[in-house]
Amino acid sequence: MIKDELQRLEESDLVNYSNRGTLKRATKELAEGLSVECHEFASGITFVWSDGVTCEFPSDQPLMAASCTCKATRECRHIVRSILHLKASAEPLSEAEGPWNPGELSDDVLIAAVGGQVFNRAQDALVNGMVAELFHGQRPEATLLTLGRTVRFSLPDKLEYAQCDCSTPRCFHIPLAAMMFRFSEALDYALVTNDRETPLSAEEASPLFNALEDLGLKATHGLGALDSVALDRLSARAQSLRGLGFVRHSELLETLRDLISKFQGQDARFDPMELALCMGEFQLRVDALLADKIPIPRAFVRGLHIEETFGQRRLIGLGCRAHLRTKTIVLESILVDQENGQLQSISQTFDWVIDPETTLSLFNLARRSSWAGRTIASISSGQIVTTHRGRVHEHALGVDQHHLSVYGQSLSWEALPARVRTSRVSQIRARLLNKAPGPLGLNALQENFLVLETDSIRNLEFDARNQVLVFEALDTEGQCIRVEHPYTSLGAESFEQTMNVLGRNAQRVRFIAGLISARSGSLFLQPTGIVWETEENERRLLMPWIEMPQAQDTLESKAKPDSKTNQVESLLRWLGDGILAGTLDPRTQAEFAKTLKGTGLETASRWMESELSLEDWRVVFRLAAILTLYSSSSEA
């Protein structure tokens, strides 16, 4: 019966149907004492409210098919209010719900729920290869990573209540998500694929071997000396690899080409460490595809083919983070594509010495005009409408190649794609425990970044020993995650302002966007943006790295950089410089060999003690792979 089905819906189902703000407003209106008449028919159930609206729920139809006489163009609060009233007034259901598996639904059940045409489209998508992230339980959830869509199943055996973030009733994503559960034997979380999971044969891997050998031979003469014809051939090889399904390898070659072009153009944004990391990741991904067994789907290693977006796109700013490097400062705006949940970034690189008469601070740098008057601060806190044709390498959006318009945003992060948003710390924990090792995942930003919906924060304090701001964020189920933001002298003013704002508004923090990590069994979140509400219920975005400062006494920084991390970064830059120049400086190599002893990088230390030469480019590339693996794990 439709009445029993509506009664089984939980608060999380209603939030997923609308958003938490709509749920709170509906709850408030219900508490104000509105009267309602409820009428049950064979065709459904109707609620007639005293404020003049009528809501109808047809039998055997999805929740999205419910209608209201109000003028709301999307899911309205009156429908949510009607369900809340029904749950509060009806007798409790005797049967308790438990975990269930959508994969156990037969094809006949799927066809009956969505129709034969939609089911056939789902089967066609499955034949083309699919990778999905699955959360088992009472409310199973599937994120179709290949398509960038998330489906949540609410009631057992009732696909009409399944909801997809594409907002289309009975879409093909729903039966496709149910089919993906058939490939999982896990009880809680799984990364699954129906794609091939066997090692590449020598013949299949030959395009990758050829690419490595070609790069190795060119490196002996210096990649920095490549002419335009050679660079065009590198791009052509990248396109060829993409056509063979080696998407991530193709992106790495394109990134390598861009880095070489920056070097040749004496671009201040060029960093030889990035070139070495690029070569190292390429080698790691080749080795992984040849291995007999790896802990993640091989589609992750090859890279997922996401449909290219043409025309206008809307990107939502999720804050900013800073990278303080040896010679440069990089400010990076984090953005999410409102359509498919793809995370991207726009970064700006600054020299440590910009203007001797200007106080150097992250706050000031973020507000320096760039890209036709746009700044990192405005991009990080706004929404961007851009016209884009072509691919985006890694997760970086090349704004200098696209038309860019920046507007303010409403901070309605409840409407963000489900792929990057969660209200449960338990999902974060499951995802981290099963993430791809090192740099073998989709990309570091997509795997490690998310937006957590919070109820409040607590235990805000400054950890003087570690020079970090720490507090605990509570999710909507009462579970907590530790949030940390480091103190830096360049960000001292913003750091103080962040402490002041959070200290006064701990109960009004609604969302925290940032990078997730796990250390010693505990979860950590490094924030880029924090959404909080004023007493007048106006939302504000707090960006800890670049927040608008007020006149405050600054703290004295006692934090010291990780010497081992600095050694690895310096060694990667040395490798990158050598690959560009075609020769490795032996004196610098001897110094590195001494400093690496006793650091845990024994293999790298042994290789550095021998006379490395680009003539033996295979060893050089594997050294880059080892350092890339370490660099990735230290960042996490």
The runs of H, that is alpha helices, within 460-535 are 492-504
The answer on 122 and 69 residing in a single domain is: no
Average pLDDT of span 118-123: 94
pLDDT confidence of residue 511: 96
Q: Domain check: are 528 and 604 in the same one?
A: no
The mean pLDDT of 342-364, rounded to a whole number, is: 76
Lowest-confidence segment of 67-81, 87-101, 175-189, 495-509 by average pLDDT: 87-101
Q: Do 120 and 153 share a domain, yes or no?
A: yes
Domain contains 522:
yes
Report yes or no on 558 lying in a domain.
Answer: no
How many angstroms separate the Cα of 414 from the Cα of each of 422, 453, 480? Answer: 10, 8, 19
Residue 388 — pLDDT band, cuts 50, 70, 90?
low
Same-domain status, 30 and 66: yes
Instruction: Give the pLDDT of residue 446.
Output: 81
Q: What are the angstrom distances between the C-alpha of 1 and each of 78, 100, 163? A: 21, 20, 19
Length of the chain: 636
Residues whose CB falls within 8 Å of the CB of residue 490, separated by 6 or more in sequence, listed in order: 322, 324, 329, 360, 361, 362
**Residues 582 and 620 occupy one common structural domain:** yes
* Among the ranges given (64-73, 210-219, 538-547), the one the predictor scored with the smallest mean pLDDT: 64-73
Could you tell me if residue 150 is inside a domain? yes
Which CATH number do you get for residue 391?
Answer: 2.40.50.140
Task: Establish if 433 belongs to a structural domain.
Answer: no
Does pLDDT of 447 surpass 60? yes
Q: Which two tokens stand for residue 488?
A: 């830096």
Average pLDDT, the chain: 83
By mean pLDDT, which of 131-135, 202-206, 528-532, 561-565 is the weakest? 561-565
Is residue 400 included in any domain, yes or no? yes
Q: What is the pLDDT of residue 563?
A: 54
pLDDT of residue 463: 92
* 581, 477: one domain: no
Per-residue model confidence (pLDDT) at position 305: 67
- pLDDT bin (cut points 50, 70, 90) of residue 586 is confident
Check residues 43 and 486 and name the one with the higher pLDDT.
486
| Mean predicted confidence (pLDDT) in 617-625 | 86
Which of 9-23, 447-461, 621-635 ranks highest by mean pLDDT? 447-461
Closest-CA residue to 57 (of 180, 160, 181, 201) = 160
Shared domain for 392 and 486, answered yes or no, is yes
Average pLDDT of 551-576?
A: 59
Residue that terminates a domain, selected from 89, 124, 148: 89
Confidence of residue 6 (pLDDT cuts 50, 70, 90): confident
Instruction: Report the 10 Å Cβ neighbour count for 285.
Output: 22
| Residue 211, token pair as written in the block | 């690419």
pLDDT on residue 189: 87
In 59-125, at which residue ranges do the beta strands (DSSP E only) sit? 67-68
Strands 421-422 and 449-463: parallel
Across 86-184, the runs of DSSP E, i.e. the strands, are: 131-135, 141-144, 149-152, 163-164
The residue out of 89, 110, 140 marking a domain boundary is: 89
Q: Which residue among 145, 174, 193 closes a domain?
A: 193
- Predicted local confidence at residue 95, as pLDDT: 61
Let me know whether 188 and 208 are in one domain. Answer: no
Among candidates 501, 496, 509, which has minimal Cα distance to 457?
A: 509
DSSP 378: H
Is residue 401 a part of any domain in this protein?
Answer: yes
Q: What is the mean pLDDT of residues 233-253?
A: 92
**Reduced DSSP (H G I as helix, E B as strand, rest coil) percent helix, strand, coil of the chain, to 5:** 40, 25, 35
**Nearest 10 degrees: Cα torsion 145, 151, 156, 157:** -90
Question: Which pLDDT does position 555 carry in this prediction?
Answer: 37
Residue 229: which domain range?
201-293+563-635
Paired sense of beta strands 522-533 and 480-486, if any = parallel
**Residue 476 and residue 372 share a domain:** yes
554 against 146, higher pLDDT:
146
Residues 461 and 594 in one domain: no
Banded pLDDT at 156 (limits 50, 70, 90) = confident
Give the pLDDT confidence score for residue 557 in this predicted structure.
37
SS3 541: strand
Q: Which ranges constitute the DSSP H helices of 354-475?
A: 362-366, 376-381, 425-433, 444-448
Three-state secondary-structure class, residue 475: strand
Range 562-569 average pLDDT? 64
Task: Identify whether residues 269 and 366 lie together within a single domain.
Answer: no
Please tell me the total count of domains within the chain.
Answer: 4
Q: Is residue 55 part of a domain?
A: yes
Average pLDDT value for residue range 169-197:
88
Confirm if 421 and 453 have CB atoms less than 8 A apart.
yes
**Most confident by average pLDDT, 250-254, 303-307, 324-328, 384-388:** 250-254
Kindly state the percentage of the chain with pLDDT values over 90: 36
358 has a pLDDT exceeding 60: no
On whether residue 235 sits in a domain, the answer given is yes
Token digits of residue 190? 């799984």
Q: What is the pLDDT of residues 170-179, one digit of tens each?
A: 899 999 999 9
Scan for tokens 């094809």, then name that residue. 107
Per-residue pLDDT of 35-56, as tens digits, reads 899 998 888 899 999 999 999 9
pLDDT score of 478 more than 80: yes
Rank 22-26, 104-108, 400-404, 545-549 by mean pLDDT and report only the highest: 104-108
Burial 497-522, CB ≥16 within 10 A → b, else e: bbbebbeebeebbbbbbbbbbeeeee
Per residue in 365-383, pLDDT tens? 998 866 656 889 999 999 8
Whether residues 181 and 208 share a domain: the answer is no
Confidence of residue 306 (pLDDT cuts 50, 70, 90): low
What pLDDT score was predicted for residue 554?
A: 37
Residue 469: which residues within 8 A CB-CB, separation 6 or more? 460, 461, 462, 463, 484, 485, 486, 487, 495, 498, 499, 544
- What is the edge-to-edge ordering of all strands in the sheet holding 163-164? 163-164, 149-152, 141-144, 131-135, 189-193
**Confidence at 391, pLDDT banded by 50, 70, 90:** very low
> DSSP label at 450?
E
Comparing 382 with 296, which gets the higher pLDDT? 382
pLDDT recorded at residue 370: 65
